[in-house]
Amino acid sequence: MKNIYKKAVCLLALGLTLASCENYLDDIPKGSKTPTTLADFEAFLRDEYTNQRVDVLPALHVLNDQFVNAATLSSNRLYNANYMWDENANRIELKPSDEGTYYGGYQGISTFNLIIENALTATKATEQEQRVVWAQAKLLRAMNYFNLVNFYADTYVASIASTKLSVPLITSANINAPSKQVTIQELYDFILNDIKDALPYLPKVSQTALHPNLGAGYAFNARVNLQMNNYTEALKNADLALAENNKLYDWIGYYNANKAVIDVPNSYTTTPSPMGFNYVENYTFRHGSSSNLGAEFDIPVERAQRFETGDARFISRWKIRTVGAETSYRRTLTGAFNFGGITTVEVYLIKAECLARAGQIADALTVLNTVRKTRILPASYQDISTTDKTTALNAIYRTKNNELIMTLIPYADARRLNAEGVYKVSFTKVVGGKTYTLSSDSHLWTSPFPQGAINNPGNGTITQNVDK
């Protein structure tokens, strides 16, 4: 599929040029196939390593969710700026022109635009079949734009969202398609409209895990509304999503089934990841940042310490290891990982936050503890019980950050909470006797556009959203 994709479609990504790229409708090279049937367009959704990959590596570095060793920090100045929270570094100068987060996001958008433009007139399909593929592409396009706006623009704040720029909006797959760097409000309105268009046609059960279903539509709607601090709509859509799928994976059972391997001291023999295409928590599956798609990342010791005692999910995934002068937690799962899609656990925790925000603390903790009972080993488990809103929300945030580590969500949540100013997120660490701090109002929470995008913005203009 990937070879057909490269021949048949010219990927439109700002600043990305392909020497032999032509409009597939105008001139098809010999040996290439012109997409005409619905099956042709639907197959683009299955190109999982490009269109279904969500690279959030810069966010993982800012959060220190991925361990980066000293040698890499020394050789990669951008990694060092993000990971060591260097406020003085000029990340604009350090930003490579081929940065995967930006170009990968727009590569997927170009493909989804192609499907949206052609699915409703594709051959060999009923109108209903056409609408399903069209709707799935609409939802995936909206997901890509959500990822991009939460990297390269300030987070959503209703009072100023109409005055601040976000990212370029492109709605056509044509290589000369115009782009406009719209406001944050305009982009969120566009995302919500794509969701609205998609929901009536998303199937309850989709063809594969890569194809969003109705539960994915509701779940993503909940995610977007939460980011906009619209807790009523977020809760409504979380409930609708959970009505489609409310399954939680039994991580305690996984640990017990594999403890003979997991508990061996100083052994890093791997066990299979349950978080692949058949993960019971999936609404829709998308790959994450790891360049080695058969494994996840190691994590720093400081990050490991933020997991609850007895967290079977953590114990099953990482084990402490020292190499030379450096100690980290080594990954011990191999296989596929749904770090770019949407899962039920995120929706449970969206629901828990919305209930707590509404003052329904007991109900919020019931939802939170429902998740924890499938994660925390019985010897360590205790219900979280409090009547204090702040205590409840902090417990929800801790669980959510741990559950969704290696995804965009902890980063997006931190930006949202920092903008709100009540439950601020900041970090401090000591390395080599020196203290490093990431403040809640640091400019490092917004990533600069790559130099290549600024220098070659396509059919439009781009203004940087940060000074450095």
At 249-262, the pLDDT tens digits run 999 999 999 999 99
What single DSSP character describes residue 124?
A: S
Query: Residue 80 has which token pair?
Result: 């060092």
**pLDDT higher than 70, residue 6:** no
Average pLDDT over residues 377-401: 98
pLDDT for the residue numbered 12: 35
pTM summary value: 0.92
- 371 within a domain of the structure (yes/no): no
Has residue 133 been placed in a domain?
yes
Asked if the structure places residue 440 within a domain, the reply is: no
Q: How far apart are CA 359 and CA 364, in angstroms?
A: 9
| CA–CA gap between residue 123 and residue 9 (Å, rounded) | 18
Residue 346 has pLDDT above 80, yes or no: yes
Give the CA-trace dihedral at 314, 315, 316, 321, to 10 degrees: 100
Q: Is residue 259 part of a domain?
A: no
Beta strand 333-334 with 271-272 is: parallel
Element spanning 438, H or E:
strand 434-438
CATH number of the domain where residue 222 is located: 1.25.40.390
The residues, ordered by sequence, that sit 6+ positions from 186 with a Cβ below 8 Å of its Cβ are 162, 166, 169
Q: Residue 98 falls within a domain, yes or no?
A: yes
* Number of domains the chain contains: 1
- Can you tell me the distance from the alpha carbon of 206 to that of 70, in angstroms, rounded to the nearest whole number? 44
Structural domain boundaries enclosing 119: 2-58+79-244+447-455
Query: Contact at 8 Å (CB) between 44 and 116?
Result: no
Q: Is residue 301 part of a domain?
A: no
d(CA 375, CA 259): 15
The pLDDT tens digits of the residues spanning 285-333 come to 999 987 666 889 999 999 999 999 999 999 999 999 999 999 999 999 9
Mean pLDDT across the stretch 381-409?
98
274 falls within a domain: no
